[in-house]
Amino acid sequence: MAEKRNERNDKLREERREQILEAALEVFARKGFVGTKASDISKYSGLSHGLTYHYFESKDEIFTELVERALKSAAAVIDYALLQPGTSADQLTWLTGIILSHTGGSSSYPFLLMVQAFTMESIPPKAKELVAEYEGLPRIRMAELVRKGQEEGSFREGDPEQLAYVYLSAIQGLSFSSFAAGRSFPVDPAHVNQLLLN
Amino acid sequence: MAEKRNERNDKLREERREQILEAALEVFARKGFVGTKASDISKYSGLSHGLTYHYFESKDEIFTELVERALKSAAAVIDYALLQPGTSADQLTWLTGIILSHTGGSSSYPFLLMVQAFTMESIPPKAKELVAEYEGLPRIRMAELVRKGQEEGSFREGDPEQLAYVYLSAIQGLSFSSFAAGRSFPVDPAHVNQLLLN
DNA sequence: GTCTATAGTTCGATAGAC
DNA sequence: GTCTATCGAACTATAGAC
């Protein structure tokens, strides 16, 4: 009996946390960390102000957890690409396709959070530490894909890390534009892939 | 006599305004609009809090003027490219070189201001209006360069505005990365230009 | 023209009822 | 577990002296 109740409570707690985090992600992305009031988050989540503070210690903690998730996802998608079947060129095609299809509107929120984390001084110290820790990871994993592709002969020559840097920067810029631009411009993934392919 | 004094005063006023705007640009870029306190600007400019409000009506007005300048510069650099001597390919080379050399550190501040203006809801309404007004301008001018290059046969085929969009997004991403990345990665401008050239 | 001091407001976080 | 009411800190903008 006591077991059942605990399970129910745990599930409830987890649901509430996610409810708060989901709302916070959108509000932080749109108003910025400092521009977001704690009351904005609770209003948007449909929960009370006090309950938000029952589940999280502070506004800082909510933001920091969201940044951590975003940073980990960014590195993870490249690892997934490396696990895809086929040649390195196939994996690149998969990766570019996935990223470009996950841009615009609310899919860009984690990305916008990272932009803040990368550029703003006015973010929680722990979020800054996370950024310093994960910052270079996507580039390192991407360089691995580039090196593999060069060995297969389908990728252009050059320092793998520099090539990875150019590709990731370009695709970041496209993600940003697809959010910022009023209308949406179709982008041919193959066009982007030519930055790396022969 | 009265003439001379007015001239001196005008010059003084202009100098102070620029002093405030220069300081504000850096602080806004690094802390964000909401994260920047009016006192941060006055401290950084070396002037008093009260004097800042003598020259500007509000924090909003300072930010808005800086955004307007940044937006105008962004469109202007492409117009300059169209005025450069040589073929369209030469003009593209010039443009990419200029932009890539103006990235990293404090040269990126106007760019970071625009990132805020494009993405954040918590910015002054007048700044948002300016963004809406100037948003598409660089793409339109850039499309003109692309069309010209296509006529000359050196640029790849395709919708000029879409090609301009991809190029500008990519170069925006590179500008952003050069600011965000800890170390600086050298980028070959010719590599970027291949997005548009045959 | 320039500064210091402060009025008025807003927001993050908590206490306590149900 | 959830909500309402409220405190204390911090910030923008202004008033008034020099």
Does residue B3 carry a pLDDT above 70?
no
The spacing between the Cα labelled CA in A30 and the C1' in D4, in angstroms, equals 28
Q: Which of A119, A70, A103 is nearest to A172 (CA)?
A: A103
Query: What is the least distance, in Å, from the CA of B4 to any CA of chain A?
Result: 44
pLDDT recorded at residue A25: 97
For the stretch A108-118, pLDDT in tens is 999 999 999 99
Query: What is the least distance, in Å, from the CA of B126 to any CA of chain A?
Result: 16
CA distances to B14, B17, B121 from B55, rounded to whole Å, are: 10, 7, 26
Q: Which of B99, B92, B83 is nearest to B194 (CA)?
A: B92
Q: Give the separation between CA B61 and CA B63, rounded to whole angstroms.
A: 5
B:17-36 residues touching chain A, CB 8 A cutoff: 29-36
Q: Give the separation between CA B147 and CA A148, rounded to whole angstroms.
A: 37
Task: Say yes or no: A142 contacts chain B, CB-CB below 8 A.
Answer: no
Contact residues for strand C with beta carbon within 7 Å:
A 36-39, 49-50, 53, 57-60; B 9, 12-13, 16, 47-51, 54
Q: Is the CB of B53 under 7 A from strand D?
A: yes
Q: What is the dihedral of CA B114, A67, A80, A97, to 10 degrees?
A: -30
For the stretch B45-54, pLDDT in tens is 999 999 999 9
Q: What are phi and psi of B155, to 5 degrees?
A: -95, 150
Contacts of A174 in chain B (CB under 8 A): 166, 169-170, 173
CA distances to A126, B40, B41 from B17, rounded to whole Å, are: 37, 16, 12
Contact B115 A187 (CB under 8 A): no
The gap between the terminal CA atoms of chain B, to the nearest Å, is: 65
The spacing between the Cα labelled CA in A62 and the C1' in D4, in angstroms, equals 23
Residue nearest to nucleotide D14 (CA to C1'): B50
For the stretch B154-180, pLDDT in tens is 999 999 999 999 999 999 999 999 999
Q: Give the separation between CA B26 and CA B90, rounded to whole angstroms.
A: 33
DSSP assignments along A35-98, one per residue: T--HHHHHHHHTS-HHHHHHH-S-HHHHHHHHHHHHHHHHHHHHHHHHHSSS-HHHHHHHHHHH
Q: Is the CB of A125 under 7 A from strand D?
A: no
Mean pLDDT of chain B: 93
Burial class (CB in 10 A: 0-12, 13-18, 19+), A63: buried
Does residue B1 carry a pLDDT above 50?
no
Q: Which of B156, B188, B159 is nearest to B174 (CA)?
A: B188
Task: Say yes or no: B195 contacts chain A, CB-CB below 8 A.
Answer: yes
CA distances to A87, A119, B180 from A116, rounded to whole Å, are: 35, 5, 10
Full set of structural domains in chain A with CATH: 1-56 (1.10.10.60), 65-198 (1.10.357.10)
Cβ(A115)–Cβ(B111) under 8 Å?
A: no
Contacts of A186 in chain B (CB under 8 A): 162
* Ranges in chain A, pLDDT < 70: 1-8
Does residue B133 carry a pLDDT above 70?
yes
